[in-house]
Amino acid sequence: MASNDMREPTFLVLSALAGGRKHGYAIISEADVASGGRVKLKAGTLYTALDRLTREGLVAPAGDEVVDGRLRRYYELTDPGAEALATEARRQQSNSAHALAQLASRAIRPAVA
């Protein structure tokens, strides 16, 4: 997958899993916190994304557990997933740095009379 095709929900799911294996609701909570409450993933959307990322080899199921009578399926980031996330993070960092530099040069430009 080309890094410039990565959408924000995908980025947030991969970021959530970068800290270790997580179950679905934990991924939703982590994405909510990381995006400052902007991205509230719904269960259907999350599972569609996880199915796709599993097919692409970026994440993998990492076991099931039953807690309070509810099944929790865990997922973990694979090595290609970590690589894709790192590439995207560097791309966003570079874009942000460029934007901030441009803004800084705008701030010091003398006003035209």
Partner 1 sequence: MTAALEARYRRALRWYPRRWRADNEDAILGVLLDGATERDRPRAAEVLDLAANGLRARLEPLDRMLPSTVRDRASDLALGLGFGVAFVLLLMQEWAPWATSVEPWIPAPAGVGPFAGWGGLLYSVWVTAFLLIVSGFSRTGRWLLVASIPFSILLVSFASTTEWQRPPALALAAMGSLALITALGRPLARRTSWLPLALAALVTLASVIFSFVSNVEVTTRVTAVEAWRGLIFGNGAGEWYLWALITLAAIAAIARRWSWFGAAALLSVPWLGICLVQLIDSGHSLLLVGVILLVFAVFVAMCAWHARGYRLVIQRVH
Provide the binding-site residues for partner 1, judged by CB under 8 A. 23-25, 28, 42-48, 51, 64, 70-73
Cβ proximity to partner 1, 57 vs 100, nearer residue: 57
CA atoms within 13 A on the CB side of 38: 6
**CB 11, min distance to partner 1, A:** 19
**CB 47, min distance to partner 1, A:** 5
Kindly report the three-state secondary structure assignment for every residue of 73-87: EEEEECHHHHHHHHH
**CB 39, min distance to partner 1, A:** 14
Cβ proximity to partner 1, 47 vs 57, nearer residue: 47
Q: Describe the chain by its helix, strand, coil percentages, rounded to 5.
A: 60, 15, 25
